[in-house]
Amino acid sequence: MGSLSTPKRILLLTNSEHGQANVFLATSHSLLTLSPSSLEIHFASFPPIHPFILSTPSLPIIFHQIQGLPMVTAWSRSLLHHQPLKNHNIFDAINRMFFCLKVTLPWTPTEFLQIMDSIFSIIEKVQPDITAVDPAFSPALTVLRWLNKKFIVLSPNTIKDFSLPYQLNGEALWKYPVTGTLHTFPLPWYRVPGNVLLVLLAIICSCSIFDGHRKEIQKLVEEKYKGAKITTLNDLSLNSERLGVKILVANLKEIEFPLSVVPGYVLACGPIIRPAKKVEEVDAGLAKWLGRGKTVYINLGTHLFFDEERTKEMALGVKRLLDYVRSVEWIDKTGRLKGLQVLWKLNSCEKQGEGKKGRLWEVVKRVLGEEMEDRRVRVVEWIEAEPIAVLKGGNVVCAVHHGGANTFLETVSAGVPQVVLPVWMDTYDFARRAEYLGIGRWGNRQCGADSICKGEELGSVLIDVVVGGRWSVYADNAEKLAELCKKNGGGRAIAARHILAEMDGQPDNQDNRFDHDGRWDSI
């Protein structure tokens, strides 16, 4: 691994949003535990992620601040902000395609160039032996490709995301529902013509000749970085083999849709989850409450906010579940249902005054007042403990979430059945995965993208997953997948080993579960 006088250097280069950065935080922890003291670990990102980076006195992680606008801050501005789409017609589909392009290029040309300049300076200063890069971080990919530096992609995305174009017999057209649609998997035959049309539209929309925003960025970049080519997630998906780049994904074949071909450069690590303190170490009061009984945990992430209508429908769904449980508790001989409770992290779009919880709490109280008085429902604005700590606490019997990749995989690794309420793009894919894998249900299919959920539908789905005739099937399947995710030290250790091996030019294939032609291994 190198002498003490000439340490080898790894640079972790990512956006600061947790949806992308969590796999880097997790892998950096494993690099600390797996690597000798002669290794230097550098972490480059925007300031918001800095407090979450773990270090040890003997092997600190050196942070480098990237100058410029973080991706979500840029994306959230009015010109590029995503408006809810209703999945009703071809025009909505086209809008979704163009929105996907903007997600990884949300910056103005000047802002993009500023970030490139900052990354260039960091790379020149660090001189890494290898860089692990976020696939959604276009300025970083562009710089690394222009410098012809050795890099490996570390992605929270799935195997399917990087393998779909290579499926046999045109399966990408007719077998897998287009991202952002309400179609089920397997795709019904009568949905195939529309699906094919949407795939073709996606191909057309992804062509740079139709993207004026990308052209503007490319023009400015080329003026300073002669010969540089803008590289996005889409470019990476289609050109990784030609670029000689390997992609580490937080996924396994057992938690993926069936695929006939997986490119050899896609390396499956399994869920890459960062370590977290136990709930009792962070919030003793919450830990005590969770210890009272089996719990349904509702957390729709940090970027999805509730208004009064959404709050009311969610509360009605919870009410229906608890009313049903009360009606059957007396015939439950196992005692499993006794004291079933709900923890709900409610993100409000209101600006609350000190000590005030606003109108949304009044909406919840009108529906769930009795349950809140009995402390069977706990509604909070923030949970200090990490979601994975809550999930692994032992008492969560169902997690309700929005279908983000990290959230889905954390829930899988914790062995908890789930109800997914997708609201945009790839979140629909994770709702489909939950049903295909038999570990949960899609909880808002009937309302589409118009709302987070409808109370009647959500209540019925919760009853099915938590107390219905199939609850044990969901629980058993979830537990089996969780055990699988622990193998070989788990995803973060596997990703760290791949990075170390790639740095030394000795690819580590012991954890890659594909045979040499890229098809699924038989194990």
Distance spanning both ends of the chain, measured CA to CA? 32
Question: What does the mean pLDDT of the chain come to?
Answer: 87
Task: Please determine, for residue 391, whether its predicted confidence score (pLDDT) is greater than 90.
Answer: yes
Task: Please determine, for residue 486, whether its predicted confidence score (pLDDT) is greater than 80.
Answer: yes
- Least Cα distance to 66 among 49, 46, 43 occurs for 46
pLDDT in tens, 175-212: 999 887 888 899 999 999 989 988 887 777 666 566 78
What percent of the chain stands above pLDDT 70?
A: 85
Query: Looking at the domain that runs over 279-483, which CATH code has it been given?
Result: 3.40.50.2000
Task: Please determine, for residue 215, whether its predicted confidence score (pLDDT) is greater than 80.
Answer: yes
Whole-number Å distance between alpha carbons of 275 and 283: 17
pLDDT at 81: 42
The string of DSSP letters for 216-232 reads HHHHHHHHHSTT-----
What percent of the chain stands above pLDDT 90?
A: 66
Mean pLDDT for the stretch of residues 53-62: 78
Q: How confident is the model at residue 27 (pLDDT cuts 50, 70, 90)?
A: very high
Three-state DSSP at 127 gives: coil
pLDDT in tens, 429-460: 999 999 999 999 999 988 865 678 999 999 99
pLDDT at 424: 79
Three-state DSSP at 343 gives: strand
pLDDT at 50: 95
3-state secondary structure 161-194: HHHHHHCHHHHHHHCCCCCCCCCCCCCCHHHHHH
Q: pTM for this one?
A: 0.89
Among the listed ranges 98-107, 126-135, 177-186, which one has the minimum average pLDDT value?
Answer: 98-107
Q: How confident is the model at residue 517 (pLDDT cuts 50, 70, 90)?
A: very low
Q: How confident is the model at residue 72 (pLDDT cuts 50, 70, 90)?
A: confident
Higher pLDDT, 59 or 412: 412
Q: Are 159 and 256 in contact (CB under 8 A)?
A: yes
Among the listed ranges 237-241, 290-294, 365-369, 489-493, which one has the minimum average pLDDT value?
Answer: 237-241
Q: How confident is the model at residue 103 (pLDDT cuts 50, 70, 90)?
A: confident
Task: Please determine, for residue 84, whether its predicted confidence score (pLDDT) is greater than 60.
Answer: no
Upstream peptide bond of 263 is cis (omega within 30 degrees of 0)? no
**Is the fold of 8-270+490-503 the same as that of 279-483?**
yes
The two most distant CA atoms of the chain are separated, in Å, by 74
Task: Please determine, for residue 355, whether its predicted confidence score (pLDDT) is greater than 80.
Answer: no
Q: Are 356 and 349 in contact (CB under 8 A)?
A: no
Superfamily of domain 8-270+490-503: Glycogen Phosphorylase B; (3.40.50.2000)
pLDDT at 467: 92
**Sequence spans of domains, the chain:** 8-270+490-503, 279-483
